[in-house]
C-alpha cells in the first residue's frame, strides 16, 4: 500500500468518525467512504488487502487513527468497529 492511499484512508475514516450523527450525516458520509473504497478494491492485490485490514484493525485496537484526532467515546468506537467489519466483509467477499 502506498503512502497516498494510507493518507486517503486515514483522512476519509477520520472524516466519517468526526461527522455529526444527527440527521443521518455520519451514515451518509460513511456510505460515500465505503463506496469510494469499493471502487479501489478490485485493483488492490491480496497482500495489500491484508495490509489494509491489519492497519484498520490496529487503528480500531488503539482507538486512534495515525495523524488524526477522533473522538474516543463509545458511540464513535462502535462506528469504527462497524466500518472495519464492513470493510473486512467486502475484502472477504471480493477475494
Please give the sequence-ordered ranges of beta strands (E in DSSP) within 23-79, or none if there are none.
Answer: none
pTM of the model: 0.93
What does the alpha-carbon distance between residue 49 and residue 88 come to, in Å, rounded to a whole number?
9
What does the alpha-carbon distance between residue 52 and residue 43 come to, in Å, rounded to a whole number?
13
Q: How many domains does the chain have?
A: 1
What pLDDT score was predicted for residue 92? Answer: 86
What does the alpha-carbon distance between residue 72 and residue 53 come to, in Å, rounded to a whole number?
20
Range of the domain at 83: 3-94
Give the SS3 label for residue 68.
strand
pLDDT digits (tens, 9 = 90+) for 44-86: 999 999 999 999 999 999 999 999 999 999 999 999 999 999 9
Q: Write down the residue that cell numbers 460513511 correspond to.
A: 30
Q: What is the H or E stretch that residue 7 is in?
A: helix 3-18
Amino acid at each position: 500500500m502506498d503512502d497516498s492511499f494510507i493518507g486517503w484512508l486515514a483522512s476519509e475514516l477520520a472524516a466519517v468518525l468526526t461527522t455529526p450523527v444527527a440527521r443521518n450525516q455520519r451514515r451518509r458520509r460513511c456510505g460515500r467512504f465505503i463506496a469510494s473504497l469499493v471502487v479501489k478494491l478490485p485493483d488492490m492485490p491480496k497482500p495489500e488487502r491484508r495490509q489494509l485490514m491489519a492497519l484498520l484493525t490496529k487503528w480500531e485496537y488503539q482507538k486512534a487513527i495515525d495523524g488524526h484526532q477522533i473522538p474516543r467515546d463509545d458511540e464513535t468506537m462502535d462506528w469504527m468497529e462497524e466500518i472495519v467489519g464492513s470493510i473486512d466483509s467486502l475484502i472477504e467477499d471480493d477475494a
